[in-house]
């Protein structure tokens, strides 16, 4: 199957209360390591000292204004069309680790990730997923509400380019179970719930994975600050759409960006395991038909 080759190619290069809601979680389905992930508010984030800050938005948005000290890390730079014509594939872990190291980011650094749940298409979730894939050993915090919440608090953005850090070696401890091929998704369909996070008219209706439930990714945040759903609200959303919250959920979109955000919200909720099917409909179509 093409999808098996895609995954082999990818893996062959391996070598909240008021202030903060924290958790250490174990990635779903074996061979997993602990990953120190938490959700922080602007008040908490503004007080963090010595943290690496990664901006998940497109470069143009970053240039228009970013959090002081932030470094760019957007999916547009770190995805590509693979050798089998599948679009939006995440670069191999070795290349991702090399890119982070070149930016002066170590595998043990504490990292704050933010976006805006808009221009980045939920890319802040994808960045957290990448760090989980790489087995990042330092704490990772997601700034809830991102740029929107930051500005709503009256805090300033800057257009000043962040001074480059000295390059370091980022040593990944890759969690292979973060990467699900289309073959694996197909084989596990009876054990999981598939949730399609794409748009309805132009994406879901023309074709989706068999048996999937449709919940657009925009439902996973709310308000003008675009804050992520609380655990209670996420559970209610899933149940409303017929999702059995006692079973694992596989989220997908076109290429793992929007579904990376929904995966993040799910993981932060403490509900049973979630998967970001990074290949999405692009990989599925390479070897299987979508249904209407």
Domain borders along the chain are 2-175, 177-287
Longest dimension (CA), the chain: 53
Task: State whether residue 25 is helix, strand or coil.
Answer: strand
For the domain made up of 2-175, give the CATH fold: Oxidized Rhodanese; domain 1 (3.40.250)
Mean pLDDT of 28-46: 78
Do 251 and 233 touch, CB atoms closer than 8 A? no
pLDDT digits (tens, 9 = 90+) for 63-114: 999 999 999 999 999 999 999 999 999 999 999 999 999 999 999 999 999 9
What letter does residue 291 receive in the DSSP assignment?
Answer: B
Do domains 2-175 and 177-287 share one topology? The answer is yes
Q: Which of 203, 214, 272 is nearest to 28 (CA)?
A: 272
The percent of residues in the chain predicted with pLDDT above 90, rounded, is 87
Residue found by looking up tokens 């890759």 in the block = 174
Do 146 and 226 touch, CB atoms closer than 8 A? yes
Amino acid 288: pLDDT: 96
Residue found by looking up tokens 């608090």 in the block = 153
Q: Which of 160, 182, 163, 156 is nearest to 10 (CA)?
A: 182
CA dist., res. 177 & res. 161, Å (int): 36
Q: How confident is the model at residue 28 (pLDDT cuts 50, 70, 90)?
A: very low
pTM beyond 0.75: yes
Q: How confident is the model at residue 30 (pLDDT cuts 50, 70, 90)?
A: very low
pLDDT digits (tens, 9 = 90+) for 196-227: 999 999 999 999 999 999 999 999 999 999 99
- The CATH code for residues 177-287 is 3.40.250.10
Do 221 and 227 touch, CB atoms closer than 8 A? yes
Amino acid 279: pLDDT: 98
């Amino acid at each position: 199957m093409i999808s098996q080759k895609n995954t082999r190619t990818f893996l062959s290069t391996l070598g909240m209360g008021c202030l903060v809601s924290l958790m250490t979680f174990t990635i779903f389905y074996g061979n997993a390591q602990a990953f120190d992930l938490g959700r922080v508010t602007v008040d908490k984030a503004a007080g963090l000292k010595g943290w690496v800050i990664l901006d998940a938005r497109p470069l143009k948005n970053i240039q228009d204004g970013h959090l002081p000290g932030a470094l760019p890390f957007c999916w547009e730079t770190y995805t590509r069309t693979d050798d089998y014509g599948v679009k939006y594939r995440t670069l191999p872990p070795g290349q991702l680790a090399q890119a982070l190291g070149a930016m002066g980011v170590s595998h043990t650094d504490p990292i704050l990730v933010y976006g805006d749940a808009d221009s980045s298409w939920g890319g802040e979730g994808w960045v957290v997923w990448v760090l989980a894939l790489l087995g990042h050993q330092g704490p990772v915090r997601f700034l809830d509400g991102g740029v929107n919440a930051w500005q709503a608090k009256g805090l300033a953005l800057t257009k000043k380019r962040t001074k480059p850090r000295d390059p370091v070696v980022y040593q990944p401890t890759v969690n292979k179970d973060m990467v699900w091929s289309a073959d694996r998704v197909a084989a596990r369909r009876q054990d999981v719930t598939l949730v399609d996070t794409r748009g309805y008219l132009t994406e879901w209706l023309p074709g989706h994975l068999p048996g999937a439930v449709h919940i657009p990714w925009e439902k996973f945040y709310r308000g003008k600050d675009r804050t992520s759903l609380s655990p209670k609200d996420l559970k209610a959303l899933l149940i409303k759409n017929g999702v059995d919250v006692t079973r694992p959920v596989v989220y997908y979109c076109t290429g793992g960006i929007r579904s990376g955000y929904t995966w993040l919200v799910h993981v932060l909720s403490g509900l049973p395991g979630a998967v970001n099917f990074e290949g999405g409909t692009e990989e599925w179509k390479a070897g299987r038909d979508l249904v209407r």
